Amino acid sequence: MSRFKPSPFVSAIVAIFILAACGGTTSTGGGLGSGDLLVGVIAPFTGADAGLGPAYYAACLAAAPSINSNGGVGGRNVKCEQFDTRGEPADAVPAANKMIASNSNLMAVVGCTSDEAATVAPIIDRAHIPMFCMTGQSEFNKTALKYFHRLVPADVYDAFAMVGSALFGPGHDPYKKAALVFGDDIGSQAFVAPATNAFTHLGGTIAINQPIHLGASSYRTEVAAMLKTNPDVILTEALGSAGTYLKEVKTQNGGKMIPFIGSSATIDPTWFQQVRDAIGINDLLKYYGGVDLGYTFSGPAYSEFLTNLNAAASTFADAPKYKQRGSTLHLYDGIIMAALAMVATNSADPKVYNSKIIDIANGTSGATVVNTYKDGVAALKAGKSIRFVGAGGENNFDQYNNSQSGYILVGYDKDGNEVTVGHLTPDQTSKLIAAGG
Amino acid sequence: MDLYVAAFGFGLVGMSVIAIAAVGFTMQFGITNMINLAYGEVMISSAYVAYYINRAGVTIWVGMIAGALFGAVFSFLLNRFVYSPFQRKGTSHIGMVIVSLAVSLMIANLLLPIVGYYSVSYQDTTGGLLRAGGIVLTTNQIAIIGVAVVIMLLVHGLLRYTRLGKAMRATAANPTLARNCGIPTQRVIDAVWLITGALCGLAGVVAAMNSDSFAIANGAGFLITALAAAVLGGAGQPYGAMIGAVIIGMITELSAAAWAPEYKEVVAFGILVLVMVLRPQGLLSKRGALAAAG
């Protein structure tokens, strides 16, 4: 009986093919490798905070063509994929594990809101994937996670800015008595303590601190309890439930709204539409105040972002709505910075290019300022060091990978565009931070 | 004290909404022996039907009728083309629950690209504000209470005084015997899906009105509340579901007034668990108009 016995050559060829098949496309050292690269968008796409994920997905859809139409990352195209956390840590962990286990070509991860950052950030960090998170939680103020990046200030600063709007904002006398109406989720509750400290230390009174259960079918009793305290203003972040709550305020208050100040997360087309439909556009324009980071919504980086975002409507119809969403701008910048870091280091190994992201964001001495991926790649190929100033403006990372910038006071126009209504002076900002502790 | 009185008034609205949903759910189960976990998604689908009609400039009260009709037809078709074929093949109870769960997920995911994930509101559904002895309600909330009372009376009349109602009760008690006695059980079951589907659709619109603002994600919440009231009252017992709705609706609002509002649902469902521990068969397991078949 004869048996098939492969020659050593055939065995070697088979072994090479098997190893190649198992190895995926991730490079383990020098060189940018081949095959598509993936940006994982890990965020809530369903559940009470379902409005967050699409804003981040839109960022990726805008960033990908900026990179792909300019040669990709060493010829590799960037793609985007959603990983739904449902806004719940328990659902976020399997989503993160699945994302990492089934995609060996992850170049970066974006999203990770306060709902899930505490659970998914360590997982992503252990996998050595650079991440750009939209969490404001203070536990990341001095994080030891090397692959974690935060392009927005911590929630405490957002809370200080809201208090600043209440005390120093234009068009009204300082509000003395505030109701704190924040969702009972981790992210929203992060505002309560700093807002309370800042407001009370600067002479205000907290009329009521009312955590509300997001997604509840009604808030009638909660609103009745809040109105009994007669607040001058409501400070709020209750994503997904704002329309229900605020409409009840108007109803029980005899058709008249109370001024309400929202966090930077309320600068969002979904939030605008929901609240507009609930209380009417006139009351929204008259009684709403918000805070946001000081964006210019202009310049070459923003122009390219806007063009790509509008083009992304063919994939995701709502994408153009996020043209003034701060998180969309920042995550767009984050993805481009990660791609530029890969080009700069000529490596698809995150252990190699991760640290370069900070250099490209902050710039080093003598760095050439670039605003687009195309210009960045050209400058790098010319042997220059670069500083990327993107659609969201300059970044200034500290040693904990947190980027800081200042706030403006904003409102909406009737079409849902952000309108700047005032600024906090350096003196006011200092007072708020000192009072907030 | 004023707050408790106000919360009592709000509880009246809440229990009215829950009662319509829970009675439909429990009748569906009691007569067809089907735990339909897609009930919440049919509710939210009907709410969206009313929304699109309302957005076209038609009053929400017409939208409510349209939602009820949609719920009736949708539920009937679900049974005819999805559930019945599985039941004819002898799929187990737990298998049918899984099928309905799958249907629920399919409806939610099919609906999502059509309606979007964001919240929407009906127009002009608030009405004027009425205050009486500390109770503060809008005219439309009072109308919701009125609708619920009328529906409960109609359900009572249907089950007690009509041939169809008696046939339903007979089918629920023993479908084989009912069939042998000449009751056209298949037609009765079709009628049950139409009637309970209409209640489901109506409940969806009323719940959406009650919420001021609603989204596709609310379907699961609607189901849980209806399910809780139905289980609390005794599975398959319409009168039990009414009592369950009163308890859950009232406790939810009163606990929000008495305690931290973020825990109001915890309190309501905690009481549900307590009742289930002390009386696993529910409050009205022996005395209702219907009983679970099989």
Say if B294 falls within a structural domain. Answer: no
Question: Residue A375 has which token pair?
Answer: 């210009």
Say if B291 falls within a structural domain. Answer: no
Residue A312 DSSP class = G
Whether chain A has a CB inside 8 Å of the CB on B22: the answer is no
Instruction: Name the more confident of A3 and B200.
Output: B200
**Percent of chain B residues past pLDDT 70, beyond the cut:** 95
- The whole-number pLDDT of residue A19 equals 38
Which residues does chain A have within 8 Å of residue B2's beta carbon, measured at their own beta carbons?
228
Which residues does chain A have within 8 Å of residue B138's beta carbon, measured at their own beta carbons?
251
Nearest Cα of chain B lies from the Cα of A220 at a distance, in angstroms, of 7
- ipTM summary value: 0.77
End-to-end CA distance of chain B: 48
Say if B61 falls within a structural domain. Answer: yes
- d(Cα B294, Cα B172) in Å, to the nearest integer? 8
Say if B244 falls within a structural domain. Answer: no
- d(Cα B200, Cα A331) in Å, to the nearest integer? 42
Q: What pLDDT, in 10s, does the model give residues B262-287?
A: 777 788 788 878 888 888 877 876 55
Cβ contacts of residue A82 below 8 Å, gap of 6+?
A: A41, A43, A45, A53, A57
Q: Among the listed ranges A23-27, A183-187, B126-130, B204-208, which one has the minimum average pLDDT value?
A: A23-27
Nearest Cα of chain B lies from the Cα of A250 at a distance, in angstroms, of 10
Domains observed in chain A: 31-154+298-388 (3.40.50.2300), 156-289+405-436 (3.40.50.2300)
Q: What pLDDT, in 10s, does the model give residues B32-81?
A: 888 999 999 999 999 999 999 999 999 999 999 999 999 999 999 999 99
Q: How many domains does chain B have?
A: 1
Nearest Cα of chain B lies from the Cα of A198 at a distance, in angstroms, of 24
- d(Cα A19, Cα B171) in Å, to the nearest integer? 64
Closest alpha carbon to A209 in A219, A196, A221: A196
For an interface test with B, which of A86, A220, A248, A268 has the most B Cβ atoms less than 10 Å from its Cβ?
A220
- d(Cα A217, Cα B220) in Å, to the nearest integer? 11
Which residues does chain A have within 8 Å of residue B7's beta carbon, measured at their own beta carbons?
220-221, 224
Work out the average pLDDT over B167-182: 88
Instruction: Name the more confident of A9 and B12.
Output: B12
Q: Which residue of A has its CA nearest to B266?
A: A213
Whether chain A has a CB inside 8 Å of the CB on B207: the answer is yes
- Using the Cα atoms of residue A381, residue A382, residue A383 and residue A385 in order, give the sign of their dihedral: negative
- Number of Cβ atoms within 10 Å of the Cβ of B31: 29
Closest alpha carbon to B67 in B168, B217, B209: B209
Nearest Cα of chain B lies from the Cα of A104 at a distance, in angstroms, of 28
Closest alpha carbon to A299 in A389, A411, A420: A389
Which residues does chain A have within 8 Å of residue B211's beta carbon, measured at their own beta carbons?
217-218, 244
Say if B92 falls within a structural domain. Answer: yes
Whether chain A has a CB inside 8 Å of the CB on B48: the answer is no
Write down the mean pLDDT value for chain B: 88
Say if B40 falls within a structural domain. Answer: yes
Say if B285 falls within a structural domain. Answer: no
Nearest Cα of chain B lies from the Cα of A273 at a distance, in angstroms, of 8
Query: Over its length of 437 residues, how does chain A's per-residue pLDDT go in tens digits?
Result: 444 444 444 444 444 344 334 433 344 345 888 999 999 999 999 877 888 899 999 999 999 999 999 999 999 999 999 999 988 888 999 999 999 999 999 999 999 998 899 999 999 999 999 999 998 888 898 899 999 999 888 888 889 999 999 999 998 999 999 999 999 887 788 899 999 999 999 999 999 999 988 878 789 899 999 999 999 999 999 877 888 899 999 989 988 999 999 998 898 888 999 899 889 999 999 999 999 888 889 999 999 999 999 999 999 999 999 998 889 999 999 999 999 999 999 999 999 999 999 999 999 989 999 999 999 999 999 999 999 999 998 888 888 998 877 788 999 999 999 999 998 887 888 889 888 87
Identify the band that residue B145 occupies on the pLDDT scale cut at 50, 70 and 90: very high
- d(Cα B112, Cα B253) in Å, to the nearest integer? 30
End-to-end CA distance of chain A: 85
Q: Which residue of B has its CA nearest to A229?
A: B3
- The whole-number pLDDT of residue A13 equals 41
* A219:B261 CB<8 A: yes
Nearest Cα of chain B lies from the Cα of A54 at a distance, in angstroms, of 10
User: B257 pLDDT exceeds 60?
Assistant: yes
Element (H, E) at B32: helix B2-32
Identify the band that residue B196 occupies on the pLDDT scale cut at 50, 70 and 90: very high
| A271-306 b/e (C-beta count within 10 Å ≥ 16 → b) | bbbbbbbbbebebbeebbbbbbbebeeeeebbebbb
- The whole-number pLDDT of residue B109 equals 86
Those residues of chain A whose CB sits closer than 8 Å to some CB in chain B are: 45-48, 50-51, 54, 184, 210-213, 215-222, 224-225, 228, 240-241, 243-244, 247-248, 251-252, 254-255, 270, 273-274, 277-278, 318
Domain carrying residue B162: 2-223
* B213:A252 CB<8 A: no
- d(Cα A126, Cα A146) in Å, to the nearest integer? 9
Which residues does chain A have within 8 Å of residue B263's beta carbon, measured at their own beta carbons?
213
Say if B32 falls within a structural domain. Answer: yes
Cβ contacts of residue B152 below 8 Å, gap of 6+?
A: B19, B23, B242
